[in-house]
Amino acid sequence: MPVAEETKGLSRVKELYQDRPQRVKELKGEGRKVIGYLCIYPVVEMMTALDLVPYRLFGDMREPITKADACLPPMVCPFLRSSLDLALKDKYPFLDGMVMAHICDVGERMAHIWRTYVDYPYFYFMDVPHTTHKSALDMFKEEIKGFQKSLESFTGKEISAEKLKQAIRVHNDQRALVRELYDLRKTDPPLITGTEVLQVMVALAGIPVGEGNELLRDVINEIKQREEKSPKQAARLLVWGSVIDDVSLIEIIENAGANVVMDDICVGTRSHWSEVELTPDPLDGIAYRYLVGIKCPRTFREAALDPKGKNYMADLENRFGYLKDYVRGWNVNGVILQSVRYCDTHGYEVPAVRDYLNSLGLPSVYLEHDYSQSSLAPLRTRIEAFLEVLG
């Protein structure tokens, strides 16, 4: 009997958040193949179309890194180190395969280390261009085609265009439902806390998309009928930056007296905001969504040259304009920029994104941490000071 019938809505979300592998282990027991992936660039639609279960891997900031020390040094992204550490500790015995992509340079290196030290029946490394040039888009489409062929060879099945379109539709449904969920944060006070939303997003990343959609519908209905609302706070914050897969930081912010009403992180809007357009050749829509639609600092994008040359503000608008929509739509009055230490793609971005937020008249604070529980506690004082500034 599926566990989904026993608990529903936010209770089910909490179960899945606290024990992520629970559901995929059941599915594995039923004969389904589970494919792990890291970050948001591996194309989940392909896996869904072949009836595989995509399972997004995270780290664990509560687990000390011990095994990964031997092959990935302390001066690189602690999130990636933690993810690899869990694999080396055999925390994913249910995986039938792994897909990794050139998400960032350390991510690329780590993919090869992972492949060397952990043996899976299936492994694929997907190259992802760094620009959104037309030729990069064409190349990326071919790369996705290569990924498709490799999955087909692994499963012994072919993906028909119709199957792929169906997978695209069901993933787009999930993206629409996530946006609907986020709409519930527009009210003042928001109907759902930032902590709860993050739990939902983490839960979704570990179950098949169809189940995720059902779960989202239940959560949305439950929230809409909720009588007890979040406390109204003066600060309505957007949290920007590198991956957050544990609620601790959001809890610290909310317990300090703020509502986290919006995010720009990859377990949030970055992973679910943009949809795949159903193009005649579905691969065109997929390539565009993953390379251009996902707004992550790992991809270079710049404004077109105007006749007078390059314009910094136009460049910022092109790179961060979507943040203005978030700020206005969710009535944000402050931004917390956060990143795990040693994340180059986010580190270089910080002064520019602050310039953009300043141009919108929005105060911001930048916080760095080393992806451990102990590194978050000292941030509380800085968050409280920031909230005082906001009034």
Site for another protein contains 341 (CB under 8 A): yes
Check residue 129 for interaction with another protein (CB under 8 A). yes
Q: Are 141 and 114 in contact (CB under 8 A)?
A: no
121 touches another protein (CB under 8 A)? no
Q: Is 59 in the site for another protein (CB under 8 A)?
A: no
109 binds another protein (CB under 8 A): yes
Please, which residues have CB within 8 angstroms of residue 314's CB and are 6 or more apart in sequence?
A: 303, 306
Examine residue 364 and tell whether it contacts another protein (CB under 8 A): no
Q: Does residue 127 belong to the site contacting another protein (CB under 8 A)?
A: yes
Query: Does residue 146 touch another protein according to CB under 8 A?
Result: yes
In degrees and rounded to multiples of 5, residue 323 shows phi and psi of -65, -30
Which run of H or of E encompasses 262? strand 258-264
Of positions 328, 348, 373, 378, contacts another protein by CB under 8 A: 348
Q: Does 300 bind another protein (CB under 8 A)?
A: yes
What is the phi/psi pair of residue 157, to 5°? -125, 155
Q: Does 104 bind another protein (CB under 8 A)?
A: yes
Asked if 355 is part of the footprint of another protein (rule: CB under 8 A), the reply reads yes
The residue range among 27-35, 41-49, 74-82, 159-167 that interacts with another protein, by the rule CB under 8 A, is 74-82
CB of 174 to another protein, least distance (A): 29
Residues in contact with another protein, shown as a per-residue x/- string from 8 to 37 under the rule CB under 8 A: ------------------------------
* CA gap 30, 358 in Å, rounded: 53
CA distance 376 to 371: 8
Instruction: Quickly list H helices, the chain.
Output: 9-18, 21-29, 44-49, 78-88, 105-117, 134-155, 161-183, 194-204, 209-224, 248-255, 269-272, 282-288, 312-329, 344-359, 373-376, 379-390
Window contacting another protein (CB under 8 A); options: 39-47, 57-65, 107-115, 212-220: 107-115
Q: Which of residues 130, 224, 226, 232 is near another protein by CB under 8 A?
A: 130
Identify whether the C-beta of residue 193 lies closer than 8 Å to the C-beta of residue 254. yes
Residues 160/135, Cβ–Cβ less than 8 Å: no
Choose which of 27, 39, 136, 260 interacts with another protein (CB under 8 A): 136
Is 292 a binding residue for another protein by CB under 8 A? The answer is no
The contact set with another protein (CB under 8 A) reads 69-73, 75-77, 102, 104-106, 108-113, 115-116, 124-125, 127, 129-131, 133, 135-136, 138-139, 142, 146, 150, 297-298, 300, 302, 305, 309-312, 315, 341-342, 344-345, 347-352, 354-355, 366, 368
